[in-house]
């Protein structure tokens, strides 16, 4: 039987750019449940993605077609290792993920099986890589100016707002030329920093149109279940509680802004006090603390963190 995690908790999952060579290696070594997830993903791909994850090179791991299933693999492996260590099925109050991380939420909420989730992520990564090749671009983090100013910058430069991570950290995207123009404009209008991201495309922008079209055909061929717990959607920052709502969300997500700041605020305003980031890195944990200072945040991305979580539970 599922066991709900401590009152009013949320599982949150990281997205692309969280990858690092070596991630998941200790989970694979120490957890049977995690190892099964990694083996399943290698089987789905028909190749040893785990070799790239554990040994590199970093340039290969950064490619969208590798980074996306790799990050999903570590996230789902860590989640399964947590269940193994606590000897129960963990059910959060709500779940969400940042961009790619939203797909890990599909498995956790019971919308899709791990196998179908992984297959969908593989297709998403492949389609996005093709879109990146067809319409090259990039992304940058703009820090220290408000959303309205960033909107004006993007409108003038022909760029896009892709993620609103916090009130003071907004991700923009576009073709390389337009992105460079937007960075210059943002800096001139008071941005404290403008940081290019380690991604190879303009995600969550109009440049992802080829990928979104292909992904929508794939989504129409899948049978979704209603979520066991609400998934807070990237596009709406509202709870998705039916299979149809989840599918509609994913059909626009690649070209829409990720409303992360609003998503975390929604969960906090509706009683969530415990946020557990599951997967590689701890970027989301830092964002949550900047959005909700009073939140209790835990990062679980390796075997030591899994054991610490189990001991605390």
The per-residue pLDDT for range 175-222, each reduced to its tens digit, is 999 999 999 999 999 999 999 987 789 999 999 999 999 999 999 999
> Are both 127 and 270 inside the same structural domain?
yes
Which residues make beta-bridge pairs with 230?
none
Q: What is the CATH number of the domain that holds 301?
A: 3.40.366.10
Quote the domain boundaries for residue 180: 138-196
| Predicted model pTM | 0.94
pLDDT of residue 5: 54
The verdict on 178 and 67 lying in the same domain is no
The answer on 170 and 120 residing in a single domain is: no
Residues 243 and 305 in one domain: yes
- CA 99, CA 97: separation in Å to the nearest integer? 6
pLDDT reported for residue 6: 52
Do residues 112 and 214 both lie within one domain? yes
Portion of the chain with pLDDT greater than 90, in percent: 92
Distances (CA, A) of 203 to 53, 121, 131, 149: 22, 15, 9, 21
pLDDT given for residue 62 in this prediction: 87
Confidence band, pLDDT 50/70/90 cuts, at residue 283: very high
Last residue in a domain, options 178, 196, 214:
196
Task: Examine the pLDDT at 288 and tell me if it is beyond 80.
Answer: yes
Rounded Cα distance, 231 and 226, in Å = 10
The C-alpha atoms of residue 130 and residue 142 are separated, in whole angstroms, by: 26
Per-residue confidence band for 17, with pLDDT thresholds at 50, 70 and 90: confident
Confidence at residue 210, expressed as pLDDT on a 0 to 100 scale = 94
Q: What is the pLDDT of residues 211-270, one digit of tens each?
A: 999 999 999 999 999 999 999 999 999 999 999 999 999 999 999 999 999 999 999 999
| Domain identity same for 167 and 37 | no
As a whole number, the mean pLDDT across the chain is: 95
Confidence band, pLDDT 50/70/90 cuts, at residue 2: low
In terms of domains, do 246 and 307 share one? yes
Number of domains forming the structure of the chain: 2
Same domain as 236, residue 120: yes
Catalytic residues: 99, 204
Question: Same structural domain for residues 244 and 302?
Answer: yes
Element (DSSP H or E) covering residue 219: helix 209-220
The CATH number given to whatever domain includes residue 185 is 3.30.70.250
For residue range 139-179, list pLDDT tens digits in order.
Answer: 999 999 999 999 999 999 999 999 999 999 999 999 999 99
- Of 169, 196, 223, which one is at a domain's C-terminal end? 196
Q: What is the 3-state secondary structure (H, E, C) of 95-123?
A: EEECCCHHHHHHHHCCCCCHHHHHHHHHH
């Amino acid at each position: 039987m599922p066991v709900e995690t401590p009152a009013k908790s949320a599982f949150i999952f990281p997205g692309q750019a969280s990858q690092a060579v070596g991630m998941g290696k200790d989970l694979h070594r120490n957890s049977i449940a995690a190892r099964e997830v990694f083996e399943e993903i290698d089987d789905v791909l028909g190749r040893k993605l785990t070799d790239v994850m554990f040994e590199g090179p970093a340039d290969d791991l950064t490619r969208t077609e590798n980074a996306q299933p790799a990050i999903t693999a570590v996230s789902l492996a860590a989640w399964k290792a947590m269940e193994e260590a606590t000897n129960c099925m963990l059910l959060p109050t709500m779940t969400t993920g940042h961009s790619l991380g939203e797909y890990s939420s599909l498995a956790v909420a019971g919308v899709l099986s791990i196998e179908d989730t992984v297959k969908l992520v593989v297709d998403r990564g492949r389609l996005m890589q093709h879109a990146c090749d067809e319409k090259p671009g990039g992304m940058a983090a703009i820090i220290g100016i408000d959303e309205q100013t960033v909107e004006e910058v993007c409108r003038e430069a022909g760029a896009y707002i892709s993620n609103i991570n916090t009130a003071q950290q907004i991700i923009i995207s576009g073709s390389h030329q337009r992105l460079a123009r937007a960075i210059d404009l943002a800096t001139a209008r008071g941005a404290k920093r403008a940081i290019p991201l380690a991604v190879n495309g303009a995600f969550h922008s109009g440049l992802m149109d080829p990928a979104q079209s292909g992904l929508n055909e794939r989504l129409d061929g899948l049978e979704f279940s209603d979520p066991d717990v609400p998934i807070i959607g990237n596009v709406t920052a509202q709870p998705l509680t039916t299979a149809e709502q989840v599918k509609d969300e994913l059909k626009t997500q690649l070209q829409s802004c990720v409303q992360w700041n609003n998503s975390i605020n929604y969960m906090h305003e509706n009683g969530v006090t415990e946020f557990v980031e599951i997967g590689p890195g701890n970027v989301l944990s830092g964002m949550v603390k900047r959005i909700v200072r009073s939140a209790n945040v835990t990062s679980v991305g390796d075997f030591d963190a899994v054991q610490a979580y189990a001991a605390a539970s």
